[in-house]
Structure 1
Amino acid sequence: MTGAVIAIAVVLIVVGGITGSVIAYFRLQRHRADAPAMAEYRRLAEESVAQQESLRGQLAELEARIKGVETLLRSVD
C-alpha cells in the first residue's frame, strides 16, 4: 500500500511539474506577442504628451495676445 501511495505522489509531482512548465511557456509566448503592442502604446503616449505640451504653448501665446487686445480695447474707451 505504501508503495502505491509513493508511486501516485511521484506521478502527481511529475504531472504537476510538466503542467506548470507548459503554462509558463504559453504565458511567455503571450507576453512576447504583447511586447510590440505595448511598445506601440508607449510610443503613442509619448507622442500625445509632446502634442499636449505644444498645445499648452500655443494656448499660452493666445492668452498673451488676448490680454494685449483687451488692454488695447480698454485704452480706447
Structure 2
Amino acid sequence: MKASAALAARLSTAAAIAVSGYIHADLYLNGGYRHIHIIGTAFLLQAGGAFAVTLLLAAWRLAMRKPAKGLTGAE
C-alpha cells in the first residue's frame, strides 16, 4: 500500500473513531446515560478509549518512532 493511501486510511479511521467517541460522550453527558448503573460508566470509558485510539492513529509515526529505534538499534 502506498504511503499516501495508508495515511488516508489511518486518518479516516481515526476520524470515524473520534465521531464514535464524541457520540458516546454526548450520550453520557447530555443523554441521561450517566444515570444508568453500569451502562453509563461503560459509555464514559468507551468515549475516553476512542479519543486515546484516535490520538494514537493520528500520530502513529511520531508515537512509534522511539519504540522502533529501540527494537532495531538505529540511531
Which structure has more relative contact order (CA 8 Å, sep 6+)? It is: 2
* TM-score (structure 2 length as normaliser): 0.40
- Flag the structure with higher helix content: 1
* TM-score (structure 1 length as normaliser): 0.39
